[in-house]
Amino acid sequence: MIIILETLLKLFDRDLQRLEEEINLYPSEEAIWKVSGDIKNPAGNLCLHICGNLQHYIGANLGRTSYVRNRDYEFAAKDISKAALSAEVQKTKQVVRETLETLKPSSLEAEYPEKVFEYSMTTAYFLIHLSSHLGYHLGQINYHRRILQ
């Protein structure tokens, strides 16, 4: 189980770094928020969603932070600067790192403390799901940036 925690820590760290890089690769702050064709969720909202998701499910639920998620805001906010989005990614990266570094390997086999789906799951299962969720949205952001250029 220690190997799983170390692997997840590396994956979250890598992908959150990539998220920050993707946001900073946009040619303008306006482009981060551009909606085009069938794309209804621009990169800025997806970035906020990723950060809110991880700060809630990892930070608040496993790390006992005081973070309170506002999912509606994640998709409704507009025109937040690159600097503010980057700061949010950095904060998320720190919360994820600190939580996973202090998580006991035995807790991975325990049931995840919040019922998220219609079935119960282990903490390890849900952490792997969260990593996949991050990768999914990271791909959407990359695609969004490239089709706008």
Q: Along the 149 residues of the chain, how does pLDDT read in single tens digits?
A: 789 999 999 999 999 999 999 999 999 999 999 998 888 899 999 999 999 999 999 999 999 999 999 999 999 999 999 999 999 999 999 999 999 999 999 999 999 999 999 999 999 999 999 999 999 999 999 999 999 88
What predicted TM-score, i.e. pTM, was given to this entire model? 0.96
- Torsion, Cα 10 135 47 29, to 10 degrees, reads 100
pLDDT of residue 2: 85
pLDDT of residue 38: 84
pLDDT of residue 27: 96
pLDDT of residue 111: 97
CATH number of 2-148: 1.20.120.450
pLDDT of residue 95: 98
Pair 87, 23: CB distance under 8 Å: no
